[in-house]
Amino acid sequence: MSPAAAGLPAGGPRRAAGLRREELALLAGISVDYVTRLEQGRAANPSPQVVEALARALRLPPEERAYLFREAGLAPPGPGTVPAYITPSVHRLLDRLTGTPVAVYDAAWNLLLANPPYAALMGDPSGWRGLERNSVWRAFAGPGSRARFTPEERRLFEESLVGDLRETVSRYPADPGLRRLVAELRARSGRFATLWDAGVVGRHLAARKTIDHPEAGPVTLDCDVLGVAGSDLRIMVYSAEPDTPDADRLALISVLGIQSLTE
């Protein structure tokens, strides 16, 4: 697989065709050391999450994805689990939105893929592991995000996240990962437990957010959540009104992010 096919710059001459270990690790959100140990047969029993991340990073078609799961000694995800497969058309869409912060989530709000402008805006997610990649967990039991909320905005945001997750659970009641996520959140967050027990149901949709960037300062953007029919993916897109100070700051953030990646 070429770097260009993965949405990455070529990065100069290569001794061999295909992705470097560092690039595969970055795309999959796992450590370079773990990729090395997998290649050398020193890492036994990779988790379904790791295999899914590798299949997604390599953009494997469904039959090759299923083969990779079987080679890892795992059953391919069944129809009763939350889909995590990113279709080639969605990959192509993201490859064309090179200057726009975009991230792809599954129906449980696990981060599957984020492009460089998104990483520059919201913080590099490549080092996030396990529950750290779940937006609901980060909001209630983790470090949160760079988004700024008033108390009322925070209340509405939390209610929409819990309501959205409850709706997902109703569609995938047999998914063990979903059950573990809800149990972990109930144990970690009294606020989540209260909202969950109240039976809140809804969808997390578009919003206008102010992001506190550590270098560029506050930037107010429209955040739209687009659904992908047939795959239950959510594409989160941040945009600014043209010819505004926020548009200028967003362009600066993208440049800062690119510089940090090439240093």
**pLDDT (0 to 100) of residue 201:** 82
Residues in the chain: 263
**What is the spatial distance between Cα 225 and Cα 17, in angstroms, rounded to a whole number?**
36
Q: Tokens in use for 211?
A: 């992001």
Cα 14-30-40 angle, rounded to 5 deg: 65
Q: What is the arithmetic mean of pLDDT over 4-26?
A: 77
**What is the spatial distance between Cα 130 and Cα 52, in angstroms, rounded to a whole number?**
12
The one-character DSSP state at 235 is: E
183 or 231: which leads in pLDDT: 183
Could you tell me which residues come within 8 angstroms of residue 212 by beta carbon, excluding any fewer than 6 positions away?
146, 147, 148, 218
Q: What is the arithmetic mean of pLDDT over 212-234?
A: 90
Q: What is the arithmetic mean of pLDDT over 8-19?
A: 74
Domain with CATH 1.10.260.40 in the chain: 4-71
**pLDDT (0 to 100) of residue 138:** 95
Average per-residue pLDDT for the chain: 87
Q: Please name the fold of domain 4-71.
A: 434 Repressor (Amino-terminal Domain) (1.10.260)
Cα-to-chain-centroid distance, residue 193: 24
Q: What is the pLDDT of residues 114-166, one digit of tens each?
A: 888 999 999 988 778 888 899 999 999 988 889 999 999 999 999 999 999 99
**What is the spatial distance between Cα 202 and Cα 167, in angstroms, rounded to a whole number?**
7
**Greatest CA separation found in the chain?**
58
Q: What is the pLDDT of residues 103-112, one digit of tens each?
A: 999 999 999 9
**pLDDT (0 to 100) of residue 30:** 83
Q: What number of H helices and E strands is found in the chain?
A: 11, 6
The pTM of the full predicted model, rounded to 2 decimals, is: 0.78
CATH classification of 88-262 is 3.20.20.120, yes or no? no
**pLDDT (0 to 100) of residue 7:** 66
**Given a cut of 70, is residue 235 above it in pLDDT?**
yes
Q: What is the arithmetic mean of pLDDT over 17-45?
A: 85
Q: What is the arithmetic mean of pLDDT over 85-107?
A: 87
**In which order are the strands placed within the sheet that holds 207-213?**
111-114, 102-105, 233-239, 217-228, 207-213, 147-148
User: Is the separation of the CB atoms in 20 and 39 below 8 Å?
Assistant: no
Domain with CATH 3.30.450.180 in the chain: 88-262
